[in-house]
């Protein structure tokens, strides 16, 4: 494998990278050493030509008639995604969704380390979620600065979400994963992913109607 051409990669390709990583990880666990582009593409539900086009954005992988070395490709996709380093995270909002995210074990397995959970509710402050004690939101900025936090996760009501985002940005957060049902405004140099759960359900509703399942 050689160094790739990672500039100007279409977003649709970037969104498929975690899926490649997940499937390859499963193959590594099964101790599969080699796999053809056709077999891997069939597993993922795409064409072999699409798979090769996706990977070609990043370099040359595999050999004609030889396939891919699974472990090598798995490690390379991880490097492309950026999983060779760890990212420190905080969650603001320790309600049901915040607690569910705090208790999700696979974040740390991928190098996303939860360092703190924050809330304004005095009944929650001091309780523990796995390895983290719930902290008063008043301490958010100081905690972000002292613990090299890169990612902020917002699970507060929409009325409070923009203020929380502003505080995160001011404290040095570089990426925000927003679960509040509002489109946040952040500076251009801050990565923002809005995860509107109800919107996802409405897409499912549309597809159910489209296929006649609501009749």
Determine, yes or no, domain membership for 26: yes
Domain presence at residue 2? no
Decide if 184 contacts 165 (C-beta within 8 A).
Answer: yes
Same domain, 75 and 93: no
- Name the residue range of residue 100's domain: 87-199
Residue 172 counted as domain residue: yes
Q: Along the 215 residues of the chain, how does pLDDT read in single tens digits?
A: 434 444 578 889 998 999 999 999 999 999 999 999 899 999 999 999 999 899 988 877 766 667 899 999 999 999 999 888 899 999 999 999 999 999 998 898 889 999 999 999 999 999 999 889 999 999 999 999 999 999 999 999 999 999 999 999 999 999 999 999 999 999 999 999 999 888 888 989 988 988 888 66
Whether residues 170 and 101 share a domain: the answer is yes
Contact (Cβ atoms closer than 8 angstroms) between residue 74 and residue 84: no
Q: What is the pTM of this model?
A: 0.83
Helices (H) and strands (E) in the chain, counts: 9, 9
Distances (CA, A) of 79 to 5, 21, 54, 84: 13, 10, 15, 6
Count structural domains, the chain: 2
- At which of 53, 80, 107 does a domain end? 80
């Amino acid at each position: 494998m050689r160094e790739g051409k990672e500039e100007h990669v279409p977003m649709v390709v970037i969104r498929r990278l975690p899926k490649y990583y997940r499937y390859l990880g499963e193959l590594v666990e099964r101790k599969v050493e080699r796999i053809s582009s056709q077999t891997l593409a069939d597993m993922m539900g795409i064409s072999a030509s699409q798979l090769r086009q996706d990977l070609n954005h990043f370099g040359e992988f595999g050999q004609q008639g030889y396939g891919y070395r699974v472990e090598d490709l798995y490690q390379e996709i991880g490097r492309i995604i950026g999983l060779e380093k760890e990212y420190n995270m905080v969650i603001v909002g320790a309600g049901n969704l915040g607690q569910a995210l705090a208790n999700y074990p696979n974040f740390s397995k991928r190098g996303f380390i939860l360092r703190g959970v924050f809330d304004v509710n005095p009944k929650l402050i001091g309780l523990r979620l796995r390895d983290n004690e719930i902290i008063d939101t008043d301490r958010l900025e100081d905690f972000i600065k002292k613990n090299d936090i890169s990612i902020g996760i917002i699970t507060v009501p929409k009325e409070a979400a923009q203020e929380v985002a502003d505080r995160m940005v001011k404290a040095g957060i570089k990426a925000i994963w927003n679960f509040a049902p509002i489109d946040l405004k952040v500076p251009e140099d801050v990565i923002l992913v809005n995860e509107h759960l109800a919107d996802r359900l409405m897409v499912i509703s549309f597809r159910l109607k489209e296929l006649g399942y609501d009749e």
